[in-house]
Structure 1
Amino acid sequence: MSDSTALTIAEQAPARPQAFDAGRATRRLKGLTTTTQEINRQIRTYGRTIVARSRYLSQNNPYAMQAKKVFVSALTGAGIKPSSLNKDAAFKARLQEVWLDWSDEADAAGLTDFYGLQSTIASEMFDAGECFVRLRTRRPEDGLIVPLQLQLMPSEMLPLNDNRMLDGGNYVQMGVEFNAIGKRVAYWFLRQHPGADQVDLRAGFVGEQVRVPAEEILHLFDSTGFAGQIRGIPHTLSGIVTAAVLDCYDDAELERKRVAALFGGFITTELGDDAAPHPMAEGIDAAQTAGNDSAIALEPGAMLDLDPGQDVTFAEPADVGGNYEAFQYRNLLRMAAGFGVPYAAMTGDLKQANYGSIRAGLVEFRRRIEAMQHAVMVYQFCRPVWRRFMDEAVLAGRLTVGPAKYLTDPHGYRRAKWITPRWDWVDPLKDRQAEKLAVDAGFKARSDVIEAEGYDPEETDRRIAADRAREKDLGLNFSPAKTAPPAGGGAEQVTE
């Protein structure tokens, strides 16, 4: 075979397939940790430590604490509220009254109302990534408007190390009991928090578990992160390392500056090889022995006589450096991204912010929060609570519908929409004008605008009608006065 023939064959041969660089064990990627472990195995292995560190940072790190407050206020605000879709006006009015009364009694601990429970759940989700709610049916003699209350339980009450097979084919994984087809059937809760004082209130109380049917438990966690995920992951997960290391650095830098600032100056003396201790040093020792630490001290305008050969050198503590602000800014940006909140909201730093940047950051933040509001708070908490509330209210005779009629079409009575808290506008005038233009042009319903502000459109319309009727009866007029254009302006005249 000639050389030219061999070259022709080589040129026609298919090219060697290129490997994915991201999957190769090259020098650049040696330090990148990889794992093929299932998400639930990782939660079982590291979950308890991660939750403990997350709770510590949200209590002790100022930025993490502020990020938590921002997250909670955005997710729940003043509360996610229901609006019944039933067409019977009398039934809706009575339902609204019963709900308002019950929402004040919803907390089994008696510390807050239904909307306060939402804030506590959001706080738990930030720290631990999950929260459990137990639906507690009460006795008629308890005197509640509806015999139902909600008991919140933190993540630690369901042990991650509870993994076992049960008789009959069921199995427990991280405290959750599943049947043979993988359906949740029960939860094995501890009777006492594992971090509480281990007081043996009764025999076998410490470490004792109780099986609670799944119908009585609401498990709130963001299940959209991983397919097949059983337990929640702290919202702070990807920001924990940055927050912890930066916190240690800030503490060390602050302590270094504090110690350096304690030294105002130093007196140096040229002494010979056989020189005796300096008399000033003897005076300091004597003063300290006598308990007078301030016998030799610097005072404003003080003039000190120095002996021959003595010199004063003033302390010049090292500065943090010109790159300190930039270094902090980039790491705080990284921490805010890990915590899922805007940098300006977490730090309060608005020096580099303007109208456009704040608006763009808030739009993206609101999208993430709205997704969690509907996928977690509404779907996993509000809807099942509303359904159970309706059942208990009908059986207790609090609503104007009999149990038999209710059971024929429970879905028709239960239908409701949930109104999330309104978002404050960055520029109220421009945003209000944009909403009005959209409604006037038919691009948006007026009820959508009202709901976006956290109000019920039907209730708002009823109140507007009542206000106008009252104004008419009292002879009041709050409509803006119409003024004619200046004379000679050529503008169209205003007519009534």
Structure 2
Amino acid sequence: MALDGLRQRLGALLGGFDAAQAHRRLRGFRASRAHVNTLIAGAGDTITARARWLARNNGYAANAVEAFASNVVGDGIKPSSSITDAALKEELQALWLAWTDEADAEGLTDFYGLQRRAAREVFLSGEVFFRLRPRRPEDGLSVPLQLQMLPAEMLPLDLTRELPGGGLIRQGIEFNRIGRRVAYHLLRRHPGDSTDPGLVGETVRVPAADIIHVMDPVEAGQLRGVSRFAPSIVKLFTLDLYDDAELERKKTAAMFAMFITSPAPETPLDPAEEDLEVEPGQVVRLDPGEDVSTPATPDSGSTYEPFQYRTLLQISAALGVPYGYLTGDTAKGNFSNTRIALVDFRRRVSAFQHSVIVYQLCRAVWARWMDVAVLSGALGIADYEKQRRHYQACAWLPTKWDWVDPMKDASAEILQIEAGLKSRTQALSERGYDADQVDREIAAERDRELALGLDFRRPGSPAQGPASKGDKGQSDHEPGGGSEDDGSTSEETT
């Protein structure tokens, strides 16, 4: 404390940075100097519990989680092997596709569903764990491997101690003497699941090679994840209370209670023989001297909606989700500013896709899956051990985002391809498709159409080459026709 006071006095003497001063405006600003690991160890469980509560009970929070997960994963971030042998690549991709339906150890979804659940968990609790579960050949899987998804609560934050030999456990993660992760000490049962008969607090040591830890660190040296709801929990909860109070006030106002006062009742202590009931359109005659009054219930006024809007904008910024995605309100913006917000959001999502979901989850699963597939004999590659990195090379293709006007976007993309600014392979990859597979499908369709005497391509489209036009009997002067040297090309651009 004495050192902090000396620093403050020195800062006040030197001046320069107003943000470091201790004057009246910043007198109550007590910023903690604790490392993020210390903060998460003390508050991580509470933040995660409150985030989960909001996602279950608050419509805005639930909408934000689903919007984030659906934009990050969509139909799935899918692999495209870089193997040049077309037959081997086709066999590999077919085996992977068959295994994706068997990937979930719980049997509730496929591998791409696990990706979506992982995105939800990282948004809610800041992290999620996958345990790689080898299976027996008699289990009948295409590749004897499955993934068990474990929530953040399964790794205790308060498990920290030193180990013999120079190792230590920090927040449930075991490190060796050089700081490398060697194991995770996971709970056998969820600490909040009373339906599981397992022992409370009992842990099991799992080697780090069998655990995939998916998290999006916000500070250097961070060990555990923190919920994306952390900056918005207070505002979401208090806004919810405010909305409930407004609804109750409206409900009370709708009851329309009346009070009858009499200046000189004959029997003031006796209750009235019957209550006065008023129906719509009824004319009520009162006794002389009696008066009827109704309680004044204030209206929401003109400040309710602007206050809601500004508060939800702050929550939207804290969550990193556009206002329209958070609220479902599309009336607040026009096409241009909505698209600007979406472009920024999708850049953030793209960064999260490749730096978190692909790098931490997809690549790790792909590497282990190929190892197990080769070792089990499901995939035959003679020199796999010598060229393991070569065979595991792979591109991961997210689902393409759709815009409000897809025709303009498609036309612009065709112009870029024709101008040589991008390739068809790049365009197909951006749409989440493998170019080799698409080309094989197109070639098969062309052969089938030729055999049946069909051609569904638009006349004059770049996909129609001179040979195809000749098959249809078009002359060089007919619409859509052209000579071989008029600059047209047979290269497909769709």
Q: Is the shorter-chain TM-score for this pair beyond 0.5, marking a shared fold? A: yes
* Aligned-pair CA distance for 1:271: 2.4
Shift of 1:311: 2.3
1:270 positional shift: 2.1
Q: Give the alignment partner of residue 328 of structure 2, picking from 348, 351, 375.
A: 348
Which residue in the other structure is 1:364 paired with? 344
Deviation at 1:457, TM superposition (A): 1.4
1:267 deviates by 2.4
CA contact (8 A) 1:199 1:206 kept: no
Name the Cα RMSD after superposition.
Answer: 1.9
Asked if 2 retains the 8 angstrom alpha-carbon contact of 1:136 and 1:148, the reply is yes
Unaligned runs of 5+ in 2: 1-12, 462-476, 483-494
Q: Letter of the 1:245 partner, please give it.
A: T
Question: CA separation in 1, counterparts of 2:372 and 2:21?
Answer: 60
Secondary structure of 2:385's partner? helix
Is residue 125 of structure 2 the alignment partner of residue 125 of structure 1?
no
Whole-angstrom CA distance in 1 between matches of 2:201 and 2:197: 10
Asked if residue 387 in structure 1 is aligned to residue 378 in structure 2, the reply is no
1:65 aligns with 2:62: yes
Q: How many angstroms apart in 1 are the aligned matches of 2:58 and 2:353?
A: 26
The farther-off stretch of 389-398 and 255-264 is 255-264
Match of 1:11 in 2: none
Partner of 1:423: 401
Contact 2:80 2:395 in 1 (8 A): yes
- Structure 2 counterpart of 1:335: 315
Could you tell me which amino acid in structure 1 is paired with residue 272 of structure 2? A
Q: Deviations over 1:86-126 (max 9, x none)?
A: 01111111111111111100000111110111111111111
**Pair 1:413-2:413 in alignment:** no
Q: Would the alpha carbon gap of residues 162 and 312 (structure 1) be closer, same or farther in structure 2, given more than 3 Å must change?
A: same
SS in structure 2 of the partner of residue 281 of structure 1 = coil
Q: How does 1:449-488 map to 2 (within 5 A)?
A: 449-481=427-459
SS at the partner of 1:480?
A: coil
Partner of 2:410: 432
Question: Which amino acid in the other structure matches residue 360 of structure 1?
Answer: I
Residues 137-148 of structure 1: matches in 2 within 5 Å?
137-148=134-145
> % of aligned pairs identical?
50
Question: How far, CA to CA, are the matches of 2:112 and 2:224 in structure 1?
Answer: 24
- Structure 1 partner of 2:205: 211
Counterpart CA distance in 1 for 2:280 and 2:355 is 65
| Pairs within 5 Å for 1:80-99 | 80-99=77-96
Q: Residue 281 of structure 1: CA displacement?
A: 3.0
The residue that corresponds to 1:12 in the other structure is none
| Structure 1 unmatched runs, 5+ | 1-15, 285-295, 484-491
Match of 1:229 in 2: 222
CA offset digits 1:248-304 (Å, max 9, x no partner):
1111121122123223433232226xx4238873424xxxxxxxxxxx533233333
**Letter in structure 2 aligned against 1:330:** R
Conserved? CA contact 2:47–2:227, under 8 Å: yes
Letter in 2 for 1:111: L
Alpha-carbon distance in structure 1 between the residues aligned to 2:262 and 2:326: 52
Distance in 2 between residues matched to 1:232 and 1:185, nearest whole Å: 19
Following the alignment from structure 1 to structure 2, what is the Cα–Cα distance between the partners of residues 89 and 55? 46
How much does 1:172 deviate?
A: 0.6
- Tell whether the 8 Å contact from 1:221 to 1:232 is kept in structure 2 after alignment: yes
Q: Which amino acid aligns with 1:281?
A: A
Q: 1:156 aligns with which of 139, 153, 157?
A: 153
Deviation at 1:18, TM superposition (A): 3.8
The answer to whether the 8 A contact 1:198-1:206 is kept is no
Q: Which moved more, 1:462-471 or 1:375-384?
A: 462-471
Q: Give the structure with higher Rg (CA).
A: 1
Q: Provide the TM-score with structure 1 as the length reference.
A: 0.88
Indicate the structure whose relative CO is greater, using CA pairs within 8 Å and at least 6 residues apart: 1
Does 2:241 align with 1:248?
yes
Determine helix, strand or coil for the equivalent of 1:238: coil
CA distance in 1: counterparts of 2:331 and 2:129, whole angstroms: 41
Q: Do the aligned partners of 1:191 and 1:209 also contact (CA within 8 Å) in 2?
A: yes
Return structure 1 stretches of 4+ with deviation > 6 angstroms.
Answer: none
The residue that corresponds to 1:136 in the other structure is 133
- In 2, the alpha carbon distance for the partners of 1:393 and 1:431 equals 40
Query: Is the partner of 2:106 in helix, strand or coil?
Result: coil
Task: Evaluate the alpha carbon distance shift between residue 493 and residue 109 of structure 1 in structure 2; reply closer, same or farther with a 3 A threshold.
Answer: closer
Give the counterpart letter for 2:427 in structure 1. V
1:350 and 1:340 map into 2 onto residues whose CA distance is 17
State the aligned residue count: 454
Residue 238 (structure 1) aligned to one of 231, 236, 239: 231
1:377-429 per-position Cα deviation (integer Å, ceiling 9, x unaligned):
00000001000000100111111323xx2111111111110001111113212
8 Å CA contact 1:83, 1:418 repeated in 2: yes
Question: Matches of 2:186 and 2:80 in 1, distance apart?
Answer: 34
Q: In structure 2, do the counterparts of structure 1 residues 245 and 142 end up closer, same or farther at CA, with 3 Å as the change threshold?
A: same
Q: What is aligned with 1:44? A: 41
Counterpart contact for 1:51–1:128, Cα < 8 Å: yes
1:414-458 Cα distance to aligned partner (Å, 9 max, x none): 111000111111321221122112111111122221111111111
Deviation at 1:198, TM superposition (A): 6.9
SS across alignment from 1:304: coil
Partner Cα distance (1:245, 1:447) in 2: 50
What SS does the corresponding residue of 2:62 show, helix, strand or coil?
A: helix
Post-superposition shift, 1:467? 1.2
**SS of 2:395 mapped into structure 1:** strand
Bigger drift between 58-67 and 452-461 goes to: 452-461
Residue-by-residue CA offset, 1:181-213 (whole Å, 9 max, x unaligned): 111110000101000117655xxx221100000
CA offsets 1:290-324 (integer angstroms, 9 cap, x no match): xxxxxx53323333331111222345421111111
Matched, 1:277 2:268: yes
Give the distance between the partners of 2:458 and 2:259, measured in 1 at CA. Answer: 76
